[in-house]
Amino acid sequence: MASHRRPKQPTRTRVTVLTVTAAAAVALSGQAANAAPAKPSKDEVKSKVDALYEEAEQATEKFSKAKEHQDQLEKEIGQLQDQVARGQEELNTLRGTLGSMASAQYRTGGIDQSLALFLSADPDNYLDKASTLEQLSGKQVEAVQKIQAKQRGLAQQRQEAAGKLADLDATRKELGDKKKASADKLAEAQALLNTLTAQERAQLKDEDTRASRSEGERVDLGNVKPSGRAGAALAAAQTKLGSAYISSATGPNAFDCSGLTQWAYKQAGVNISRTTFTQINDGTRIGKSQLQPGDLVFFYGDLHHVGLYAGNNTVLHASNPRGGVKYESINNMPFQFGVRVG
C-alpha cells in the first residue's frame, strides 16, 4: 500500500537563507540591468566614425552626381524653351504671311475656302489634311507646308521639354535625399566623437597628422620626379595639405575627394568632370604597377573615392572630415584602378 507521508517542512533557518539568497540575486540582476553600457574606447569610436564617414562620402558623391545632372537639365530646358519661343515667333510670322495672301485674294475676288480653313480659329485640325493643298496656289502651298513643319517641330520640342522637366523634378528629390543621408551620417559620426574627451579627440587628430607626415616622407624617399600636367596637378594638391574636408566642396580652402582632384587638375590647365563616377572616364584606365605621380586613383567597389597618386605607394587625397587633405598609404583602402588623364 502506497505511503501518504506528509512532506517535511523546511526549517525556519533554511527559509531565511533561501530568502536572502533570492533577494541578493534579484538585486544583482537589477544592478546589471541598470548598469550603463561600457563607454567605447577611442579606437572603437575611430573605427565606427570612419565607417560613417565612408557612408557619408558615398551619399556625397551621389549628391554631386545628381547636382551635375540637375545643372545639365536646367541648361537643356532653358535652351529648349528659347527654341520654342523663337519657333512660336516664326510660326506667327508664317501665319501672318498666309493671312496677307488671304487678304490679297479677298481683294481680288474672294478668299479660297481651303485657305480660309487654315486661317480659322482652329487651323491645326486642317494642317494635316494634304488634300486641301491641291486647291491652293504654289506660294500658298509652300507657306502652309512651312507652318505644318514648324508646328510639328514645336510639338516635339515641347514634349522633350516636358520630359526633361519631369526628370528635373525627380533629380531634385534625389538631391534632397542624398544630402540628408550624408548629413545624417556626419551628425551620427560627430555624436560619437563627442563621447570622447577633448584629449582623446586631439590624439586622433595628432595620429592622422603624424601618419600623413610619415607617408609624405615616403614620397620624398622615393625620389619622385612628377612631370607634365599630372605632375602639375599633384604639385597643386600638395599645396592644400591639411585643408579641411567638407562634403561637396571644390576648393580653394576645403574639398571633398573628387573636388580636390578636379581643382588640382584645373590648376594644371586640364578640365575634368566633377564626381568619381565620371572622373573614371576622364582618361585611360591603368593598373597599380603602371601608376605615375599625378594619376587619379580610385577606391572601393562602387568607386566613390578618388585621390592623386603621389608615388612610392602613397596617395594624396581629401580623406574625411577628421583627416582632411593628407597623404595615406595606397594599401589602406581597397584600390580598384588608376586613370591617366590626357
Give the pLDDT confidence of 69-122 residue by residue, as tens digits.
888 888 888 888 888 888 888 778 777 766 665 565 555 555 455 555 555 545
How far, CA to CA in Å, does 162 sit from each of 66, 69, 168, 224, 332? Answer: 19, 16, 10, 54, 47
Answer whether residue 7 shows pLDDT above 60: no
CATH number belonging to domain 43-192: 1.10.287
In the chain, where does the domain assigned CATH 3.90.1720.10 lie?
198-341
Size (the chain), residues: 342
Count of CB atoms situated within 10 Å of the CB of 157: 16
Q: What is the mean pLDDT of residues 121-138?
A: 51
Tell me if residue 257 is catalytic: yes
Taking the whole predicted model, whether its pTM rises above 0.85 is answered as no
Distance separating alpha carbons of residues 139 and 212, to the nearest angstrom:
78
Residues 4, 69, 304, 317: which is the catalytic one? 317
In the chain, where does the domain assigned CATH 1.10.287 lie?
43-192
Tell me if residue 304 is catalytic: no
Distance separating alpha carbons of residues 61 and 245, to the nearest angstrom:
13
Q: What fold characterizes domain 198-341?
A: endopeptidase fold (from Nostoc punctiforme) (3.90.1720)
How far, CA to CA in Å, does 234 sit from each of 219, 238, 268, 312, 327? Answer: 12, 6, 9, 14, 12
Tell me if residue 69 is catalytic: no
pLDDT of residue 233: 96
- Which amino acid makes up residue 35? A
